Chain A
Amino acid sequence: MELFSFKKDIPFMSYGKLTTAISLLTFVLAVVFLLWKGLNLSVEFTGGTVMEVQYQQAANLETIREQVAKVSQGEPTVQSLGTTRDVLIRLQNQNDKSSAQLSNEVLAALKANGSQVELRKVEFVGPQVGEELLTHGLTALSLVIVGIMAYLAMRFEWRFAVSAIIANLHDVIIILGCFAAFQWEFSLTVLAAVLAVLGYSVNESVVVFDRIRENFRKPSMRGRSVAEIIDNAITATMSRTIITHGSTEMMVLAMLLFGGPSLHYFALALTIGIVFGIYSSVLVASPLLMFLGVSRENLIKQPKPKEEAVV
């Protein structure tokens, strides 16, 4: 079976202006949302206490809100978690009480009117930990960027490294923008998903780049313009791109549908990342490569040993 067969090369590069405009627009939009609304950071980053409780019957959020407000300071948030029986309570840290006391008191308050409540999960994070996680997260992000760029620069050429990383950071910003726009909770697991997407989408660019390099070396491609060579590379890998991403997305979708609330945002971040990953590696990375002035000489001048022939 074959779904995607292209008889002719699709002139992707001639759409350069249009795709750049789309990218810029989404990018700017994402940045605006990030600055305007900001990320809805989870307690892991901000510090605080989160409790997950399960009621025997459907829970009344209003009552719970009142019960919780009696024992806690600040503004507790109470929301249902997927079902009517599961409730998520978020509390601010209090100086005069330890998290242990706080969660015990809240649970006692919830049970006060005789409801059947089961404590499913408590997460408490002190303020000192949150800051640390944020710096560690940012360090990890920069390490990924530097590592990937160094590898691509070594394996290909600096122009490839720069355009791949810009294209993929553009994905990362868009994921973050979506999380800001919809105020989805940004937790450590989501951060892991974002970094995994970064590594994964670079794959995509690498596959196209590999083809571009191969095309530059092919005798049959001599005399073709750079744009034509890139178009050919993208078209040739198009079917693979869609199928791979489709397969990965099937896995992610299974997580989104069956993984429960713990994996929900993780899977959501991956979904956005995968969808934009296709777009950016094809329609952002390659035009950037052209823009940076890649030429046959960049790759041919330095003859490399035929390492890919070794299996």
Chain B
Amino acid sequence: MNRYPLWKYLVIAVTLLLSAVYTLPNFYGETPAVQVSSTRQALPVDTNLMQRIEKRLANEKIQANGIFLDGNSLKIRLNDTDTQIKVRDLVQQEIGDNYIVALNLLAASPTWLTQLKAHPMFLGLDLRGGVHFLLEVDMNAAVDKTLERYAGDVRRELRAQKIRYGSLKRHRDNIEISMRDEAELQKVEALVRDKLPNLSLKADESSRILRLSLTEAEMIKIQGDAIRQNITTLHNRVNELGVAEPVIQQSGANRIVVQLPGVQDTAKAKDILGRTATLEVRMVEDEPSKLAEALSGVIPAGYELLDELSAQGSQKILVKREVELTGDNINDAQPGFDENGTAAVHINLDSTGASIFRQVTADNIGKRMAMVLIEKGKGEVVTAPVIRSEIGGGRVQISGSMNAAEASDIALLLRAGSLAAPMNIIEERTVGPSLGKENIEKGFNSTLYGFAAVALFMAIYYRVFGVISVIALACNVLMLVALLSMLQATLTLPGIAAIALTLGMAIDANVLINERVREEVQNGVPPQSAIKAGYEHAWATILDSNITTLIAGLALLIFGSGPVRGFAVVHCLGILTSVFSAVLVSRGIVNLVYGGRRINKLSV
């Protein structure tokens, strides 16, 4: 009696072994490292780059503890923080400002663990220090700007078709055109349907007024675009901070979460996130003598020497200071293909922009124009195409020496420079690194002391069965930590509190079992049957009580945000592991200790 079939022991043993393996990385600590990544597809992080860096490090006689590619980034593991800073500067110097070179900490676990995808738990910002921002994108502004753009388009089309209209007014959520007669009204209707299919039309025949508003689909698209564009812009800015593992993601319909672990200069972080970039269109000076002069250090008045970025590396380019057009006049820039099927960037200008652009292109055929992105007062040429012909109508296409990856980079940079919907910080949490360390320590200590007290009490009160319960409880911790490490769920201070609380609650199942066994023994049931009956009777109760706790945990998980979610994740996982450990593991040990032999007395 009270023997498990072999497979059950095997299941328990394998589960515990796996848990031990996946818990292991948490004990190794971290080593300093330098991480190289790139946001532009045209600047890949690949083996070439790795060899370049390896060579440079070898030349400088710096011993790296390992250098490897991990997804889209390159990581260099180092022995101490002094070399870490030295290597960061060296690498930055070697590969230039267009790559992001950041300090990072890598898990110091041995390779065989990393190959098993066993990583330490992912610590939240409250434990490792850093900044968390919640930004809200002003959707009204985005919609407003789109409507403004359409109003311009409509005006331009009407003018192009030589249709006379009374007035064109922009209201908060529609455009109102009053016409002189009905025939004209119908003409306009047909025109809008044909040229601007994203607008919904409502004609008032009697007063000859046409109202144009955005369709539902268009609204959704605008909001999606506004969020995406802001996320891209944020990515670019965060990269400048040199954060190793930034989190930038959409949260809800119009919000963006930014998490910057390890950032200590929060004022600078906020400053950089809140900055706006501008885009300027300027003419390029290609006269060789002037360029040579500028390269030799004498820059002619009214000119500026800027870098042009491309996959081949950066190139100096002489640009006039005079600004022809700014990003304000750019409505959109998208990567695509031209009629020959080669990669291209399509730019859409508003009406003012279109007319200026027509003039500029007409005057400068055969010359190059530069799209300059200006951030923190520093200009950078995104692209400098040659003007082939006069371009009217506000639809510009840049194509030629670029591949699809470069086209999407350029479109992204152009969009970053044109105005996106404004964002506001609506929530901020900053935790200093020292507080983070303290939080870990306090959380760990309280769990440890609590566990020790419970263990001591259980061992005294239930003797052998108590010790077994404590072992089961320890297995519970092991499994919970392993599960958290495996899932890479973010562990926060409330999460640590949840571990402690879960342990406190998990002991309930063992108490139920032990009390039941004791009761059966007192009722005169023989030991082996008492064990069996005790576990069986307790099972229904354990199930019921854990399910009700789980219901509360799930509700927290669904509706909780921030600290509550961190608590809920651990709490829910803990309930699952505690049922397993209290029922299967503890019974397994009891069976090993007492099962299959004659016993006269139970130590309970």
Please give the residue numbers on chain A whose beta carbons come within 8 Å of chain B beta carbons, in ascending order.
Answer: 1-3, 44, 52, 54, 98-100, 103-104, 118-126, 128-129, 133, 136-137, 139-141, 143-144, 147-148, 151-152, 155, 187-189, 191-192, 195-196, 198-200, 202-204, 206-207, 210, 214, 236-237, 239-240, 243-244, 246-255, 257-260, 262-263, 266-267, 270, 307-311
Q: How far, in whole Å, are A144 and B504 apart by their CA atoms in the complex?
A: 21
B560 and A140 form a contact (CB under 8 A)? yes
Chain A residues near B451: list those with CB within 8 A: 251
Q: Is B536 a contact of A309 with CB atoms below 8 Å?
A: yes
> Chain B contacts of A139 at CB under 8 A?
559
Q: Which residues of A contact B562 (CB under 8 A)?
A: 44, 188
Contacting residues, chain A, for B438 (C-beta < 8 A): 260
Give 8 nearest A-B pairs by CB, closest first.
Answer: A199-B552, A251-B504, A308-B540, A254-B450, A126-B426, A248-B504, A203-B545, A251-B450
CB<8 Å pairs between A and B, sample of 9: A99-B428, A100-B271, A123-B429, A189-B497, A196-B571, A247-B457, A251-B451, A251-B504, A263-B443
A203 to B504, CA, bound (A): 13
Q: How far is the CA of A237 from the CA of B512 in the complex (A)?
A: 9
Task: Please report which residues of chain B, range 497-544, place their CB below 8 angstroms from some CB of chain A when the two chains form the complex.
Answer: 497, 500-501, 503-505, 507-508, 511-512, 515, 518-519, 535-537, 539-541, 544
Complex Cα gap A244–B558 (Å): 28
Q: Is B183 an interface residue (CB 8 A)?
A: no
Residue B160 is within 8 A (CB to CB) of chain A in the complex? no
Indicate if the CB atoms of B504 and A247 lie closer than 8 Å: yes
**Residues A136 and B561 in contact in the complex (CB < 8 Å), given A124-B428, A195-B555, A248-B504:** yes
| Contact present for A262 and B493 (CB under 8 Å) | yes
Contacting residues, chain A, for B564 (C-beta < 8 A):
188-189, 191-192
Collect the chain B residues with CB atoms within 8 Å of residue A255's CB.
446, 450, 497, 500-501
A166 CB to nearest B CB, Å: 15
Residues of A within 8 A of B426 (CB): 125-126, 128-129
Kindly provide the distance from the CB of B269 to the nearest chain A CB, expressed in whole angstroms: 9
Establish whether residues B563 and A120, one from each chain, have CB atoms under 8 Å apart when the complex forms.
no
CB-based nearest B residue for A203: B545
Cβ–Cβ contact B555 & A147, under 8 A: yes
B431 CB–A CB distance under 8 Å: yes
Of the candidates B267, B446, B515, which one forms a contact with A254 in the assembled complex, judged by CB atoms under 8 Å apart?
B446
Contact of B548 among A126, A141, A148 (CB under 8 A): A148
A133 vs B252: C-alpha distance when bound (angstroms): 14
Tell yes or no: B28 within 8 A of A by CB.
Answer: no
Partner of A118, one of B434, B443, B547, B554: B434
Contact: B447 with A200, CB < 8 Å? no
Chain A: which residue is nearest B507 at the CB level? Answer: A247
Name the residue on A nearest B568 (C-beta).
A192
Known contacts A120-B432, A248-B508, A255-B500; is-contact A144 B545 (Cβ 8 Å): no
> Are B536 and A120 in touch, CB under 8 angstroms?
no
How many residue pairs between the two chains, A and B, have CB atoms under 8 Å in the bound complex?
Answer: 248
* Structural contact, B556 and A192, CB atoms closer than 8 A: yes
Query: Within residues 549 to 590 of chain B, which ones have a CB less than 8 A from any CB in chain A?
Result: 549-556, 558-564, 567-568, 571, 583, 587
Contact B443 A240 (CB under 8 A): no
CA distance A129 to B252 in the complex (A): 12
Q: Are A311 and B539 in touch, CB under 8 angstroms?
A: yes
Contact at A143–B559, with CB atoms within 8 Å? yes
Given A192-B567, A263-B493, are A199 and B511 neighbors across the interface (CB < 8 Å)?
no
B501 touches A308 (CB 8 A): no
Q: Is B490 an interface residue (CB 8 A)?
A: no
How far apart are the CA atoms of A267 and B493 in the complex, in Å? 13
Chain B residue with Cβ nearest A143 = B555
- Bound complex: CA A144 to CA B511 (Å): 26
* A198–B511 CA distance with the chains assembled, in angstroms: 20
- A122 and B556 form a contact (CB under 8 A): no
User: Which residue from chain B places its CB closest to the CB of A307 in the assembled complex?
Assistant: B540
Chain B residues close to A by CB (< 8 Å): 126, 134, 136, 266-267, 270-271, 274, 424-432, 434-435, 438-439, 442-443, 445-447, 449-451, 453-454, 457-458, 460-463, 493-494, 497, 500-501, 503-505, 507-508, 511-512, 515, 518-519, 535-537, 539-541, 544-556, 558-564, 567-568, 571, 583, 587
User: Which residues of the partner chain B approach A103 to less than 8 Å between Cβ atoms?
Assistant: 430
Contact in complex: A248, B434 (CB < 8 Å): no
A53 to chain B, nearest CB (A): 9
Q: Is the CB of B497 within 8 A of A266?
A: yes
Given pairs A100-B270, A251-B453, A308-B539, 7 additional interface contacts (CB within 8 A): A118-B432, A124-B428, A148-B548, A236-B519, A247-B457, A247-B507, A259-B442
* B501 surroundings in chain A (CB, below 8 A): 196, 248, 251-252, 255, 270
The answer to whether B552 and A198 touch across the interface, beta carbons within 8 angstroms, is yes
Instruction: Give the chain A neighbours of B439 by CB distance below 8 A.
Output: 260, 262
Minimal beta-carbon separation of A34 from chain B (angstroms): 21
Closest-CB distance, B428 to chain A (whole angstroms): 4
B552 to chain A, nearest CB (A): 3
* A189→B563 contact, CB < 8 A: yes
B435, B457, B554 pick with most chain A CB within 10 angstroms: B435
SS class, residues of chain B in contact with chain A: helix
When A144-B551, A247-B457, A262-B439 are in contact, do A100 and B428 touch as well, CB less than 8 Å? Answer: yes
Residues of A within 8 A of B541 (CB): 206-207, 210
Give the Cβ gap from A92 to chain B, nearest Cβ, in Å: 15
Q: Is B453 a contact of A147 with CB atoms below 8 Å? A: no
On whether the beta carbons of A207 and B512 are closer than 8 Å, the reply is yes
CB of A189 within 8 A of CB of B567, answer yes
Docked CA distance A251–B450 (Å)? 4
**Interchain CA distance A152-B461 in the complex, whole Å:** 32
- CB-defined contacts of B460 to chain A, threshold 8 Å: 1
The CA-CA distance from A211 to B512 in the complex, in Å, is 12
Asked whether, in the complex, the Cβ of A151 is within 8 Å of the Cβ of B551, the reply is: yes
Give the complex CA separation of A151 and B555 in angstroms.
14
Inter-chain contacts of B507 with A (CB < 8 A): 244, 247-248
**Chain A residues positioned under 8 Å from B583 (CB to CB):** 311
Q: How far is A1 from B136 in the complex, measured between Cα atoms in Å?
A: 60
- The residue that B450 contacts in the complex, of A2, A122, A253, A307, with Cβ under 8 A, is A253
Chain B residue at minimal CB-CB distance from A1: B461
Give Cα distance in the complex from A202 to B553, angstroms: 13
Distance A293 CA – B515 CA, assembled complex (angstroms): 30
B520 to chain A, nearest CB (A): 12
Contact assessment for B493 and A240 in the assembled complex, using a CB-CB cutoff below 8 Å: no
Is the Cβ of B552 less than 8 Å from the Cβ of A196? yes
Q: Are B537 and A199 in contact (CB under 8 A)?
A: no
Give chain A nearest CB distance to B212 CB in angstroms: 31
Known: A100-B425, A189-B494. A140 touches B555 (CB 8 A): yes
Residues of chain B within 8 A of A147, CB atoms compared:
551-552, 554-555
Most chain B CB neighbours (cut-off 10 Å) among A136, A196, A270, A309: A196
- Contact A206 to B544, CB < 8 A, known contacts A192-B556, A192-B560, A254-B453: yes
CB pair A206–B548 under 8 Å, yes or no, is yes
Closest to B549 in A: A199
Contact B454 A121 (CB under 8 A): no
Q: Is the CB of B429 within 8 A of A200?
A: no
| Min C-beta distance of B495 to chain A, whole Å | 11
- A3 cross-chain contacts in B, Cβ below 8 A: 461
Q: Is the CB of A122 within 8 A of B563?
A: no
Chain A, residue nearest B503 (CB): A251
Beyond A210-B540, A308-B536, A311-B583, whether A250 also contacts B430 by CB under 8 A is: no
- Cβ-defined contact, A250 with B454, below 8 A: yes
What residues on B are CB-neighbors of A120 within 8 Å? 431-432, 434-435
Q: Does the CB pair B449–A258 fall under 8 Å?
A: yes
CB distance from B266 to the nearest CB of A (A): 7
A residues near B555, Cβ cutoff 8 Å: 140-141, 143-144, 147, 195
Residues of A within 8 A of B545 (CB): 202-204, 206-207
- Given known contacts A100-B425, A189-B564, A255-B450, is B500 in contact with A200 (CB within 8 Å)? no
Q: Say yes or no: B461 contacts A243, CB within 8 Å.
A: yes
Q: Is the CB of A129 within 8 A of B493?
A: no
Q: What CA separation (Å) do A137 and B563 show in the bound complex? A: 13
